[in-house]
Amino acid sequence: MSRTTFLLGVHNHQPVGNFPEVFEAGYRMSYRPFMEMMKRFPRLKWSLHLSGILWDFMKDKHPEYVAAAKKMCDAGRLEILSGGYYEPILAVIPDRDKLAQIKKLSAFIKNNFGQTPRGIWLTERIWEPSLPKFLSSEGIEYTLTDDYHFISAGMKEDALRGYYVTEDEGFKLNIFPISQKLRYYVPFDTVERTIELFSSARGFNSSLTMGDDGEKFGMWPKTNEHVYGKGGDIESGWLFRFFSALSKNSSWLDTNTFSGFMDAHRPTGRVYLPSASYFEMSEWTLPPASQLELENLIHLCQKDNRFANAHKFLRGGFWRNFLTKYSESNNMHKKMLRVSERIASALSSSSCAIPSTPKTAARFVKAAEHLYAAQCNCAYWHGVFGGLYLPHLRKAVYEELILAEKALAPRKFDVIVSFTDIDKDGRDEIAIEGKSQNLYLSPARGGCLYEWDVYEPASNMLNVLTRRYEAYHEKIKQSLPAAKESSDGASTIHGIVKMKEKNLERYLNYDWYDRASLLDHFFGAGVSLEDFRECRFKDLGDFTLEPYTAEIIGGKITLRREGTVRTAAGARNIVVEKTLTPSAASAGFTVAYKITNASVSPAEFMFGSEFNLAFFAGFPSQEISSSENLMLNDKVTGLTFVADVRPASAIWLFPVETVSLSEDGFERTLQGGCVLFARSFRLKGGASDELSIAVSWTK
């Protein structure tokens, strides 16, 4: 008799740094009720992946969940998948870290469930062709990718049944294609149509795979009642009716684990997949203009009923494009690689592979754990989920990286200053590293300061996101109504259009430079705080984005640029020198500006030095006409930003806010606070004047 097998894989994850109440909400709304539903249908087989972060939470707060999973494993109806412990994008972390992360989660699974994992959950289904050799070498037999990966290779969606084998340098790996159609049907279409989909797939050696986020079973907006029933009426919920239908049709519709299916069936065929992710991710990685072009092309194809044929040829970017789309993502990623290399170098330079003393060994283990936690993928990208736009996730990444550096070795030196290409753009940055802080300067980008790591508490205090145009901002501008949501209120998050507050279009301000610090501006008369806040002012100089020369003398760093300022009286040649003197004992530095009019004619302008600070819980909007002092208390870290300015200068302050898309709709987010220290200069030909700003973070 013609049959098919439903291979159900559920992936549960919460990112490093997410709020405890979100973990609890996930357990209450999704993880627990799904597991309880599975208990009601003991003949159904399935596969489960939790990131190590979430397994740690379960063991600590809800051991009953672990016990329930163990019981199902012992009964042979549940397979636990391995993967990177802290849910990294495997393709973009060093092989040594890939290995350590997979081994850590596999050991956890072996110790707690008695299974030696044969497969892994591939984070965000980010596939690159070099993965088979690495995974196969480490004993991994299979993974899952979207059917879009296969379609991109020219294969037909309707033919994607069972699993396929691929290889790299002869190292084989099996791959199950996840059905996008099934992902969208479960649990958002009717149970009847979903069963019809399985029926259409009947055949020899046939199966349909669904691997997707477990959070959509109750935690995504308006899915809880839809999935589990209203008012405790479980049998009216989608999931109970679906599982009942699976049981009712068991004469031709099987369920199995991935390993169970592999053991009973041969591969459907051989395949070689291009670098790819799920289709939506390929859209999100594109620059906004290209993303809109792709969306328009898709709409045209759908309108003309050509999408099914054109789909295989429509491709966006791939995951690494996020590292060019968002400088903040690249900064975190390259900082992570820098810390990873330091740990590896420290290990290789020790007298043996494993440090000899328990105290030294413990330091290396602690440093490595912080590094692996910092490799959690969520803060490095942005799509329909907040990701990079969520300050607390970026904060967590930096915290883990700084803690890794602290654990690696106590710094006995006062300050070390070096030229090195930290962000891997082919141009050297300046690293200033001491007992209390790290400072990273970029001479090539306006001589800016783009990272300021404070060691107590561990935090990058310049962790501010630039306000960028995103393709989905067009939906806000067009004021699409919330009525676009599905009629029953439950839909896949990819189709939700919801505004979390009114008049969000007022906050669509876009920066033409990255939100770093020590950014040098020149203004004419009439520029207001509001002009500056909305980034709609005219900068009269060519200093903010242009390169500076750099010189290190005696622990001081002097950045210099000779540029042009277009004053009301005409263009003037202006030289800006800023000399940074870092503190050896605390988290602070002094920057001494010397501004010279290199022209014969006099020059008159307002000069401003801009700082962007990682304040995530309130920041004032204020204009101070003249002051020598500024103190701002950060409620999150408990630190106070202190600035002493000589001579007294105007100080402008405003919150840096973005409008982004999350799984719950469009929302406004505080990304930090901007401080501008500004004073007017009137310089005769050849004359100079100075401005000194001493800044620090204190408890």
CB 179 within 8 A of CB 208: yes
Distance between CA atoms of 94 and 340, rounded to whole angstroms? Answer: 8
The CA-CA-CA angle for residues 499, 502, 503, to 5°, reads 110
| Mean pLDDT calculated for residue range 299-317 | 86
| Mean pLDDT calculated for residue range 38-67 | 98
Grade residue 652 by pLDDT with cuts at 50, 70 and 90: very high
What would the pLDDT profile of 421-478 be if each residue is shown by its tens digit? 999 999 999 999 999 999 999 999 999 999 999 999 999 999 999 999 999 999 888 8
Handedness of CA 404, 409, 415, 420 (dihedral sign): negative
Q: Give the DSSP letter string of 492-557.
A: -GGG---BSSTTGGGG----SS-S-BSEEEEE-TT--HHHHHTT-PPP-BS-SSS--EEEEETTEE
Q: Which of these ranges, 295-304, 388-397, 536-545, has the smallest mean pLDDT? A: 295-304
What would the pLDDT profile of 271-288 be if each residue is shown by its tens digit? 999 999 999 999 999 999
Q: What is the mean pLDDT of the chain?
A: 93
List, in sequence order, every residue forming a beta bridge with 641; answer none if it has no partner: 632, 697
Residue 629 has pLDDT above 60, yes or no: yes
Side-chain-facing half-sphere of 344: CA atoms under 13 Å: 12
Burial 25-58 (b: 16+ CB within 10 A, else e): bbbebbbbbbbebbeebeebbbbbbbbbbbbebb
Percent of the chain with pLDDT over 70: 96
Residue 689 has pLDDT above 60, yes or no: yes
CATH 2.70.98.10-classified regions of the chain: 502-698
Hey, what are 676's tokens? Answer: 């501008």
What would the pLDDT profile of 557-614 be if each residue is shown by its tens digit? 999 999 999 999 999 999 999 999 999 989 999 999 999 999 999 999 999 999 999 9
pLDDT, residue 468, reads 97
Residue 356 has pLDDT above 70, yes or no: no
Distance between CA atoms of 429 and 431, rounded to whole angstroms? Answer: 6
Q: Output the CA–CA distances (angstroms, integers) from residue 504 to 19, 138, 668, in the order listed.
A: 25, 49, 7
Coil vs helix vs strand at 694: strand
Hey, what are 144's tokens? Answer: 């899952």
CATH 3.20.110.20-classified regions of the chain: 4-277
What would the pLDDT profile of 478-526 be if each residue is shown by its tens digit? 864 443 443 445 655 555 557 878 889 999 999 999 999 999 999 998 8
- Report the chain's terminal Cα–Cα distance, integer Å: 73
- From 583, 585, 581, 592, select the one nearest 557 (Cα to Cα): 581
Distance between CA atoms of 479 and 499, rounded to whole angstroms? Answer: 9
CB 119 within 8 A of CB 82: yes
CB-based contacts of 684, cutoff 8 Å, min separation 6: 597, 602
Q: Give the DSSP letter string of 640-686.
A: EEEEEEEEEEEEEEEEEEEEEEETTEEEEEEEEEEEEEEEEEEE-TT
Grade residue 311 by pLDDT with cuts at 50, 70 and 90: confident
Residue 683 has pLDDT above 80, yes or no: yes
Pick the CATH number of 502-698 from 3.90.550.10, 3.30.70.330, 2.70.98.10, 3.30.360.10: 2.70.98.10
pLDDT, residue 371, reads 98
Find the helix packing angle between 391-408 and 327-349, rounded to 10°: 20
Q: Helix %, strand %, coil % for the chain, to 5? A: 35, 30, 35
Distance between CA atoms of 428 and 419, rounded to whole angstroms? Answer: 6
Residue indicated by tokens 């839809």: 226
**What residues are annotated to the active site?**
124, 213
Distance between CA atoms of 215 and 324, rounded to whole angstroms? Answer: 29
Grade residue 1 by pLDDT with cuts at 50, 70 and 90: low
Total number of residues shown for the chain:
699
Residue 249 has pLDDT above 80, yes or no: yes
What would the pLDDT profile of 382-394 be if each residue is shown by its tens digit? 998 889 999 999 9
What would the pLDDT profile of 157-201 be if each residue is shown by its tens digit? 888 999 999 999 999 999 999 999 999 999 999 999 999 999 999
Hey, what are 188's tokens? Answer: 């958002």
Handedness of CA 443, 449, 451, 457 (dihedral sign): positive
The more confidently predicted of residues 257 and 316 is 257
Distance between CA atoms of 201 and 337, rounded to whole angstroms? Answer: 45
pLDDT, residue 355, reads 56
The 8-class DSSP code of residue 471 comes to: T
Burial 102-137 (b: 16+ CB within 10 A, else e): bebbbebbeebbebebbbbbbbbbbbbeebbbbbbe
pLDDT, residue 483, reads 36
| Mean pLDDT calculated for residue range 10-27 | 97
pLDDT, residue 665, reads 84
- From 525, 530, 539, 478, select the one nearest 509 (Cα to Cα): 530
CB 125 within 8 A of CB 144: yes
pLDDT, residue 499, reads 80
pLDDT, residue 484, reads 42
433 backbone dihedrals φ, ψ, rounded to 5°: -125, 130
pLDDT, residue 450, reads 98
CB 583 within 8 A of CB 696: yes
Distance between CA atoms of 512 and 233, rounded to whole angstroms? Answer: 54
Hey, what are 542's tokens? Answer: 């060519």
Handedness of CA 155, 158, 159, 164 (dihedral sign): positive
Grade residue 354 by pLDDT with cuts at 50, 70 and 90: low
Looking at the domain 4-277, which fold is it?
7-stranded beta/alpha barrel (3.20.110)
pLDDT, residue 662, reads 81
CB 499 within 8 A of CB 432: no
pLDDT, residue 491, reads 57
User: Full-prediction pTM beyond 0.85?
Assistant: yes
pLDDT, residue 486, reads 39
